[in-house]
A and B are shown apart, each in its own frame.
Chain A
Amino acid sequence: MEEPLDFEQEDQLVRTPLRPTNTNKRSKVIGLDDLLTDYYEEKNKYVHRKSKRLSLSKRDNSDEDDKSQKYKERMLSKFVHDCEKQVNEMSAEEEIPLWGHRVFGHQKSLPSTEYKGVADCQLLQPSSIGDLMSVFHLNEEQGESFLEGLLVNRWLCKLAFISGFVEDSTATWVFNKMLYSSNGELQVSACEFWCNILLSKDEADKPLVSLGWFPGYSQLMDALVTYGYLFDTSITRSSLSQEVHTDKPEGPPENISSWIKVISACCQIRSPRSIFSISEAEELLCIISHFSLDRELQGLLFIINECMQSLIIFFSEEEWDVSCKRVAKSLAFRTPKDLNCLRVVECVSVTNGRSKQLRSQIALQLLTLRFDTKVNDYKEILEVLMSVNVKDKDCKFFELYIYLVLVENFFLFHHLGEEKWVAIDTWCKFLRNCSSQITSTDWRSYASKVRNKASYILQTTVERSC
């Protein structure tokens, strides 16, 4: 191949300029390889010599090869060990737990849902339906089980609508079935019964069924205690398992979804004030929002949100400002100071002005609680943020990330009035610091998240304020 082919020889013009460049290139590549091999050979020799010298200095040149081999092994194992240690340190630093917070501890024993005054139940009086009883043996399964059948097969609800009222004893019985029955079918039909009755209205917006007994805050709270809701969040999981009644199941029973739904329905009736007072509604809103932190209840997010929206509408225009702040404050106290802060804020689904305000307030309250230095309003928070040096080696990026998201949420929904522009200006300055001073090669955990988040918020803030 090196020799020119017959026809190539004829065409000197084509051949001559090509050949030299080709050979040049090839020799150049070979030269680089050679250099490398030379370099490694040299280095090997050096190491070899060094180890030789080392072993020589200690002993005579017996078992010389073996010695150098052992030395190499020792060096390698030390190196590996160091690496391992570093990796462990890195992963320990990066281990930031996912959000998730148990809001339910051990259940207490569920109370009996037996119908107490079944003998006095108007509905079941035998005289009421004449000879049908005997003809069809309706009296065979009297009392509670017959009533249960009526409930599960949805007759009870129809009868309530036809007669226009529900006896008190029946109302409480169904309500207790809903809260405490472990029979899924019964529990679900009981919830359906109550939601249908509470939400029904005629054309004149009047309820179709008049109730002598309404569900109340205290019954709902009793149920929550029975389900094991942790009102005091200082109880940790470890102290939980040390509790005495460990035979009782942990976490809420399935009835929890009925509990949420019925509160939603209670708030939508014509005069919800007859059921909840303002402070009770505040407490419920706080508890419902708190539910969104429990990973076990993730699948109920949709009904949790519906319930939150119904509770938010409960308040009148004048009450809302104060109540919103109060709910946010108490929720912030119940929220652990980690990723849960972000979860609780982001679970307030913003569809109207009020839910925006709630989200913003929760963010603000969480911020004020999180800063060790006492801050009272957003201006001071911004000042503290501005003092953070992102170039600092010990900069806590995870914390910074949480502040970033919280402040963003606070700003998105808050009406700052005239000082708005000053605040936004400072905010943008801080965002610019984060996005430009953190290098893209910063591998520390959450460094890139802070950088990316800051630059995204910066973009949208700038666009919006143009």
Chain B
Amino acid sequence: MVNPNRKRGGNCSGGSSRENRSNNNNMDAWEENTMAILDSSGFKDSQDVHDDRLCFLEAVRSASLASEPSTAPSWRMFDAVFQILVDCNSLELAMASYQLLTELDKRYSRVYVMKSDNTESSSNGIGNLVVVKEAWSPFNLASGGERTAKDSCSLFDSVRFSTLIEDMVQAVNKLSFDLVIKAVGNLLLFQYLVNVLEEDLLPRLTVYKETLNWLLLKESVLNILLGSRKLNFKSLVRDCMSILLKRCHHNIPNNLQGLRSSEDTCSQSSQDCDVGLSIAVSELEKETCVAIQKFFKLVMELDVARKEADMHGLTSRLDGFRLPILEIVVDELTYNRDSLPPFLVVFSEPKWKLEIILQYFSKYVTKSSVRTRRSNEKSDGATLAGMLNNFSTAANTKNIVKRVTSGAAQLLLAHAFQAYLSLVHDSKQIASSTERIGATLSEICNSLISAFRNLRKTDEGLEITSFAKEALFAAAMVLKRKP
């Protein structure tokens, strides 16, 4: 580990003129000392290596988060922390490294919006986007950039990112596990990467909306990551969907009581007991579903911005072309109709859920006779009110049910209504989705109820699902409370 004779003294050189250099020296010495904790030379068993890694994480935490003034870890140290998460040798190390990385990201942001003090610009409310070039990132997307392949072997590029998701799909499809901890590691890793993508994209989007500067989004990690030719975006989206459809459920024994009685829990020999892993996995499954939805949401926001930039002529051929994620999702749901119900149940992000349903539905509505480029784009103008209008009379309903089937129709109506209800009480969300509604709350509720009456009229034997019944009940309650 640390050689006590090394680096003693010599770091105390001060003087204002040399302050900068001495800071650098301090940084170097600190990096050297801290990295030395991980030095695995000498006589060490696996428990020692494990302890050393924990020690290292703790040392980084106390220097970079706890002490005053604190300094960001060097790239080498960041790499090492990330490597511990990637290796994922034990639950303890995985959780500790994930937590540390998350907290470091909070403290040392890579991208943020700075409201300028300049009164002139602040009156416009335009903030400046600050991109911290020196900040470490788990993504290595620059081709032949500063970071060579050698010192960034554990960092993620497009290929590794899609491999990670493929591994997650495999884990979900697996029937038995030898090493549950690897699955745990992948789920944590994915969550962390999605958080990094979000922290990078959101401030860029905020400034883009004010300035329409496409370059900001073009340089976002998400755009570069997905724009790579090495990545098969369509299969990546499909993989994510298949994880969502299974609710990320892993086939591991999760009967805690059974696990506890089958073995003398937490025996000394094993670092992680089965019960601990099982509790961890069931928590991570929920969080991964949220993370995948977050990932979809980010890509959808990016796609919308891209389309807008295209229309303003801000993009060029160099920007490349990628299918919008919404199209892929809707296509996938159209071709695999069985996946529609479970997908709608698990996908709860209201704004984009409504968007997906409207797009899906618009595929079945008679297109205007002249299909010019323009009218094709018209499908963007679909509203919830418009969708409900297709069920306004018995004749209309009969017409549409022929194409959509009554089962799918009630499913889509009920889920669209739920998404709408979620949007209604969120003032921020509703503002960005008003153009998708097209009616008042009570109008929507009334049309929903009459839509179901018409569905019943056209198909006497139609069995209303319990979800749809609950939707009707909710609509009736809303009408009663808000006359």
| Cα(A453)–Cα(B282), bound, Å | 37
Q: Evaluate whether A158 and B421 lie within 8 angstroms (CB atoms) in the complex, with A136-B452, A153-B470, A188-B286 already known.
A: yes
| Cα(A183)–Cα(B260), bound, Å | 19
Residues in B neighbouring A203, C-beta threshold 8 A: 427
- CB pair A463 B283 closer than 8 Å: no
| Cα(A298)–Cα(B281), bound, Å | 11
What is the CB-to-nearest-CB distance from A364 to chain B, in angstroms, rounded to a whole number?
16
- CB pair B471 A413 closer than 8 Å: no
Q: Is A296 interfacial (CB 8 A cutoff)?
A: yes
- CB pair A132 B449 closer than 8 Å: yes
- CB pair B282 A301 closer than 8 Å: no
| Cα(A129)–Cα(B106), bound, Å | 49
**Nearest neighbor of B474 in chain A, beta-carbon distance:** A155
- CB pair A295 B427 closer than 8 Å: no
What is the CB-to-nearest-CB distance from A163 to chain B, in angstroms, rounded to a whole number?
5
What is the CB-to-nearest-CB distance from A424 to chain B, in angstroms, rounded to a whole number?
14
Name the interface residues of A432-447: CB closer than 8 Å to any CB of B: 435-436
- CB pair A162 B470 closer than 8 Å: no
Q: Is B268 interfacial (CB 8 A cutoff)?
A: yes
- Selected contact of B2 from candidates A297, A459, A462, A464, CB within 8 Å: A459
Q: Evaluate whether A155 and B470 lie within 8 angstroms (CB atoms) in the complex, with A299-B276, A299-B280, A351-B106 already known.
A: yes
B positions within 8 Å CB-CB of A: 1-4, 7-9, 11-12, 14, 26, 29-30, 33-34, 36-37, 51, 54-55, 58-59, 61-63, 65-67, 91-92, 95-96, 98-99, 103, 106-107, 184, 256-257, 260-261, 265-266, 268, 271-273, 275-277, 279-284, 286, 345, 348, 418, 421-422, 424-425, 427, 449, 452-453, 456, 464, 466-467, 469-474, 476-478, 480-482
A–B complex contacts, Cβ < 8 Å, 7 sampled? A123-B477, A132-B476, A208-B425, A296-B275, A412-B66, A448-B1, A455-B3
Q: Is A55 interfacial (CB 8 A cutoff)?
A: no
What is the CB-to-nearest-CB distance from A183 to chain B, in angstroms, rounded to a whole number?
14
Q: Is A449 interfacial (CB 8 A cutoff)?
A: yes
**Nearest neighbor of A127 in chain B, beta-carbon distance:** B480
- CB pair A302 B95 closer than 8 Å: yes
- CB pair A162 B424 closer than 8 Å: yes
Stretch from A46-54, A211-219, A248-256, A328-336 contacting the other chain: A248-256
**Nearest neighbor of B27 in chain A, beta-carbon distance:** A463
Residues in A neighbouring B271, C-beta threshold 8 A: 98
**Nearest neighbor of A438 in chain B, beta-carbon distance:** B4
Size of the chain A interface, CB-CB below 8 angstroms: 71
Chain B interface SS verdict (over half): helix
| Cα(A141)–Cα(B478), bound, Å | 21
Residues in A neighbouring B283, C-beta threshold 8 A: 257, 299-300, 303
Q: Evaluate whether A150 and B265 lie within 8 angstroms (CB atoms) in the complex, with A130-B476, A298-B92, A459-B33 already known.
A: no
| Cα(A356)–Cα(B66), bound, Å | 7
**Nearest neighbor of B420 in chain A, beta-carbon distance:** A158
Name the interface residues of A290-320: CB closer than 8 Å to any CB of B: 295-303, 305
What is the CB-to-nearest-CB distance from B27 to chain A, in angstroms, rounded to a whole number?
10
- CB pair B425 A456 closer than 8 Å: no
- CB pair B425 A251 closer than 8 Å: no
| Cα(A407)–Cα(B71), bound, Å | 22
What is the CB-to-nearest-CB distance from A34 to chain B, in angstroms, rounded to a whole number?
36
Q: Evaluate whether A298 and B99 lie within 8 angstroms (CB atoms) in the complex, with A136-B464, A138-B469, A464-B67 already known.
A: no
| Cα(A146)–Cα(B272), bound, Å | 41
Residues in B neighbouring A129, C-beta threshold 8 A: 473, 476-477, 480
Name the interface residues of A120-176: CB closer than 8 Å to any CB of B: 123, 128-130, 132, 135-138, 141, 146, 149-150, 153-155, 158-159, 161-163
- CB pair A299 B256 closer than 8 Å: no
* Max chain B C-beta neighbours (<10 A), residue from A161, A163, A299: A299
Q: Is A349 interfacial (CB 8 A cutoff)?
A: yes
Please name the 4 residue pairs, one residue from A and one from B, whose CB atoms are nearest each other, closest first. Answer: A299-B280, A129-B476, A452-B1, A455-B4
What is the CB-to-nearest-CB distance from B394 to chain A, in angstroms, rounded to a whole number?
15
Q: Evaluate whether A463 and B477 lie within 8 angstroms (CB atoms) in the complex, with A299-B279, A302-B95 already known.
A: no
What is the CB-to-nearest-CB distance from B104 to chain A, in angstroms, rounded to a whole number?
10
- CB pair B65 A350 closer than 8 Å: yes
- CB pair A455 B2 closer than 8 Å: yes
Q: Given A161-B425, A295-B272, A459-B8, 20 other A-B contacts at CB below 8 A?
A: A129-B480, A132-B476, A138-B469, A153-B418, A155-B474, A158-B474, A161-B421, A249-B257, A250-B265, A295-B276, A297-B279, A350-B61, A359-B66, A412-B66, A451-B4, A456-B2, A459-B33, A463-B29, A463-B30, A466-B11
| Cα(A456)–Cα(B3), bound, Å | 9
| Cα(A155)–Cα(B473), bound, Å | 9
Residues in B neighbouring A412, C-beta threshold 8 A: 62, 66-67
- CB pair A351 B29 closer than 8 Å: no
Residues in A neighbouring B55, C-beta threshold 8 A: 453
Chain A interface SS verdict (over half): helix
Interface string of A397-414 (1 = CB under 8 A from B): 000000000000000110
Q: Is A460 interfacial (CB 8 A cutoff)?
A: yes
Residues in B neighbouring A149, C-beta threshold 8 A: 466-467, 470
- Selected contact of B418 from candidates A154, A253, A301, A462, CB within 8 Å: A154
What is the CB-to-nearest-CB distance from A294 to chain B, in angstroms, rounded to a whole number?
8
| Cα(A149)–Cα(B473), bound, Å | 11
| Cα(A422)–Cα(B11), bound, Å | 21
| Cα(A64)–Cα(B464), bound, Å | 102
Residues in B neighbouring A295, C-beta threshold 8 A: 266, 272-273, 276
What is the CB-to-nearest-CB distance from B106 to chain A, in angstroms, rounded to a whole number?
7
Q: Evaluate whether A298 and B12 lie within 8 angstroms (CB atoms) in the complex, with A155-B474, A158-B425, A162-B477 already known.
A: no
**Nearest neighbor of B282 in chain A, beta-carbon distance:** A254
* Max chain B C-beta neighbours (<10 A), residue from A98, A350, A451: A98
Residues in B neighbouring A98, C-beta threshold 8 A: 268, 271
- CB pair A162 B481 closer than 8 Å: yes
| Cα(A459)–Cα(B7), bound, Å | 8
Q: Is A346 interfacial (CB 8 A cutoff)?
A: yes
Residues in A neighbouring B261, C-beta threshold 8 A: 249
What is the CB-to-nearest-CB distance from A439 to chain B, in angstroms, rounded to a whole number?
11
Q: Evaluate whether A301 and B482 lie within 8 angstroms (CB atoms) in the complex, with A98-B268, A161-B425, A350-B66 already known.
A: no
- Selected contact of B482 from candidates A155, A162, A351, CB within 8 Å: A162
Name the interface residues of A257-298: CB closer than 8 Å to any CB of B: 257, 295-298
* Max chain B C-beta neighbours (<10 A), residue from A123, A162, A305: A162
- CB pair A351 B427 closer than 8 Å: no
**Nearest neighbor of A465 in chain B, beta-carbon distance:** B12
**Nearest neighbor of A203 in chain B, beta-carbon distance:** B427
Interface string of A358-370 (1 = CB under 8 A from B): 0100000000000
- CB pair B51 A141 closer than 8 Å: no
**Nearest neighbor of B345 in chain A, beta-carbon distance:** A153
Q: Is A103 interfacial (CB 8 A cutoff)?
A: no
- CB pair B256 A253 closer than 8 Å: yes
Q: Is A202 interfacial (CB 8 A cutoff)?
A: yes
Q: Is A458 interfacial (CB 8 A cutoff)?
A: yes
| Cα(A82)–Cα(B3), bound, Å | 35
Q: Evaluate whether A436 and B4 lie within 8 angstroms (CB atoms) in the complex, with A135-B453, A356-B66, A456-B33 already known.
A: yes
- Selected contact of A299 from candidates B184, B421, B453, B482, CB within 8 Å: B184
**Nearest neighbor of B425 in chain A, beta-carbon distance:** A161
Q: Is A20 interfacial (CB 8 A cutoff)?
A: no
- CB pair A435 B4 closer than 8 Å: yes
What is the CB-to-nearest-CB distance from B357 to chain A, in angstroms, rounded to a whole number?
16
Residues in A neighbouring B456, C-beta threshold 8 A: 135-136
- Selected contact of A296 from candidates B276, B348, B425, CB within 8 Å: B276
What is the CB-to-nearest-CB distance from A195 to chain B, in angstroms, rounded to a whole number?
12
- Selected contact of B421 from candidates A162, A250, A253, A453, CB within 8 Å: A162
| Cα(A350)–Cα(B63), bound, Å | 11
Residues in A neighbouring B345, C-beta threshold 8 A: 153
- CB pair A296 B2 closer than 8 Å: no
